[in-house]
Amino acid sequence: MDFEVRRMLRQILLDLRLAGVTHLPRSIGGTHLALEGNGPWVKAPNASFTLADEGQRGSGAHVPPNTMTLASGPPQARTGQIRSHGKITAKEAEDLTKAAAGQGEVPPQEQPPLRNERLAGAASEFSPAVSFSMLTLPAWAQEEKIEVLSPEEKRERLQQLARRVAGCRRCPDLVRNRTQTVFADGNPDSPLVFVGEAPGADEDRQGVPFVGRAGQLLTDIITKGMGLRREEVYICNVIKCRPPENRTPTAAEVANCREYLDEQLALIRPQYICCLGSIAAQRILGTKQFVTKIRGKLFTLGRTTVVCTYHPAYLLRNPEAKRETWEDIKLLMKAMGLAPPPSRKAGN
């Protein structure tokens, strides 16, 4: 069974469990799908869930440690919530409930094919620990709000968006100091997006993200660490203008740019996001936590798996943290079904 289909089935099973269904299949069509298992089970930092009540834990359904479930409201109400945020249709829920009771088959879900050959070839036995459903997914992650576009339409819309960004004058301090806006680099059809913080001096000069010293380190992580080419991934930032003196973007600046990154991600529809540093992690996961606290884990937003790690600029100042970043990158690769290159020395 296709890795992505399996991941989605697992998510649906989890949603059903959260909706109060206690007897769920451990396998579908011969594929093992049990929800317990390896991996870091984590809670969305901003999800308003409470721990599963003991009654549910004792009901025979295995609830992995730290898994957050909706604890209040009758099962119908909870199912309603899950439907209303677009994860499964009533028909799919019915089919799954039947399959759970051993009657009938679960219809496979349509997934767009991966366009990248190396990435597409990477079928994985590893299933990321999908451990929560957010009540309010960010707009870019809400399937029902996302248009399915041809690659040509996608490029056209991204170009339109980049032109809008280039003409943006929302942040006077940034507009005054910028040479140009910095929209993105790489392959818009990539399943993997890196999100940084903001352009620096080199990026501002060249109009391309991550081309300075931190950018060279990111390129090394992608090429030497992951064995991918930089052109195979998509790279962008939380804000599109260089902050003067490379200061941290203000909350207002991040808010002003929110619409642009949201639309960018809705067009790209990444399967994986790697957040570089706290600003990106906070922006993508909607949390106030710092990257130190949330690195080393997999998060799921709709169909997208998110990993956070240190910012390459931080790694340049704190090389000892590279070891942890390599752990994070290996976790990401495992989730993606990519084997680490054998020659890769840990910690470099």
Q: Classify the phi-psi angles of 332: left when phi > 0, otherwise alpha if psi is within -120 to 50, otherwise beta.
A: alpha
Amino acid present at 343: S
Closer residue to ligand URA in complex, CB, 114/218: 218
Q: How far is the CB of 128 from ligand URA (least distance, A)?
A: 22
**Interior/surface letters 183-200, b for 16+ CB within 10 angstroms, e for the rest:** bbbbbbbbbbbbbbbbbb
CB of 280 to ligand URA, least distance (A): 7
To ligand URA, the closest distance from the beta carbon of 195 in angstroms equals 9
| Of 4 and 197, CB closest to ligand URA | 197
Nearer to ligand URA (CB atom), residue 133 or residue 237: 237
Residue nearest to ligand URA (CB): 196
Residues that bind ligand URA (CB under 6 A): 196-200, 203, 209-210, 212, 214-215, 237, 277-278, 290-292, 310-311, 313-314
Least distance from ligand URA to the Cβ atom of residue 129, Å: 23
Measure Cα distances from 11 to 4, 52, 109, 134, 160 in Å.
11, 17, 12, 12, 34
Shortest Cβ distance from residue 137 to ligand URA (Å)? 24
Closer by beta carbon to ligand URA, 209 or else 337: 209
Closest CB to ligand URA among 35 and 291?
291
124 with 337: CB under 8 angstroms?
yes
Q: From CA 276, how far away is CA 197, in angstroms rounded? A: 7
Please state the closest distance from residue 80 (CB atom) to ligand URA, in A.
39
CA 224 to CA 201: how far, in whole Å?
A: 25
Closest to ligand URA by CB, 186 vs 215, is 215
- What distances in angstroms separate CA 36 from CA 135, 169, 323, 328, one per listed residue? 22, 49, 28, 21
The answer to whether 38 and 124 are in contact (CB under 8 A) is no
